Amino acid sequence: MELNIPHQFVAIEGNIGAGKTTLCNMMEKTFDAKIILEQFADNPFLPFFYENQERYGFPVELFFMTERHKQLQENLSQTNLFKELIISDYFFLKTLLFAGNNLSAEEFRLFKRLFNILNTSFPKPDLLVYLHRSVDNLIQNIKQRGRSYEQDISPEYLQNIQDTYFEYFKTAQNQAILVIDVDEMDFLRSENHYQQIIDAISKTYAPGMHHLSFVV
């Protein structure tokens, strides 16, 4: 497939279990792109967080923020940014969205001050792609991939995350956002489904939220 994506930096986002990393890995092979994958398994607080969110919320989010910042700084230097297609399975603002959902009001005020300092050091994606799945679909995917520390994630938690993303999308006037409903799609096993997603990503979009669903 010939490279025809009119973007230089694409971020693939979605809820837990949406298929972000899977799609990034597929696009890396299709376009010979550089990919940035979040190293979530390196967060030593994550297993404890799912057992006690109130106690471990701040350290888990602080670790994620510093690691994401370091990774993006290393990969989005100005010398490399315009030489190849870069695809990431997260965007940095995700840090703030999850923190707002997981932290107390006092913790979040402090966290936001730290985030605002770090958020000025690299460019935002040309296109933010959000893979949207229903909570039931997400739970099924989470169970299938079998990470032990994720098995007790509640539907309410996933719903809160989803709501947080869409509240942000409604206010993001300066970011091109493409929401793709993938509930009925299996882009890993269906070449047609994968091609539909690639065709959608290969278009240009005005700033704001754009919502796509496909008849499959």
More confident residue, 80 or 206: 206
State yes or no: pLDDT of 79 exceeds 60.
Answer: no
State yes or no: pLDDT of 80 exceeds 70.
Answer: no
Q: What is the pLDDT of residues 110-151, one digit of tens each?
A: 999 999 999 987 788 999 999 999 999 999 999 988 787 788
Judged on CB neighbours under 10 Å (0-12, 13-18, 19+), 191 is exposed
Q: How far is it, in rounded angstroms, from Cα 35 to Cα 202?
A: 17
Average pLDDT score, the chain: 91
Q: What is the pLDDT of residues 162-188, one digit of tens each?
A: 999 999 999 998 999 999 999 999 999
The backbone torsions φ and ψ at residue 13, rounded to the nearest 5 degrees and listed phi first, read -120, 175
Model pLDDT, residue 83 = 62
* Candidate ranges 73-82, 118-127, 204-213; pick with highest mean pLDDT: 204-213
Model pLDDT, residue 81 = 54
Model pLDDT, residue 3 = 55
Q: What is the pLDDT of residues 2-46, one digit of tens each?
A: 457 899 999 999 999 999 999 999 999 999 899 999 987 788 998
- Which of 33, 7, 24 lies closest to 89, judged by CA? 24
Q: What is the pLDDT of residues 188-207, one digit of tens each?
A: 999 999 999 999 999 999 99
Q: How far is it, in rounded angstroms, from Cα 175 to Cα 11?
A: 11
Q: How far is it, in rounded angstroms, from Cα 166 to Cα 186?
A: 23
Q: How far is it, in rounded angstroms, from Cα 138 to Cα 1?
A: 30
Q: How far is it, in rounded angstroms, from Cα 88 to Cα 93?
A: 13
- Which of 4, 3, 9, 6 lies closest to 126, judged by CA? 9
Q: CATH 3.40.50.300: does it fit domain 9-23+31-213? A: yes
Model pLDDT, residue 174 = 93
Model pLDDT, residue 1 = 45
Calculate the alpha carbon distances from 75 to 28, 72, 119 in Å.
15, 5, 15
Model pLDDT, residue 42 = 80
DSSP output for 76-122: --HHHHTTS-EEES--TTHHHHHHHHHS-HHHHHHHHHHHHHHTTSS
Length of the chain: 216
Q: Provide, rounded to the nearest whole percent, the portion of the chain with pLDDT above 90.
A: 75
Contact criterion met (CB below 8 Å) for 57 and 103: yes
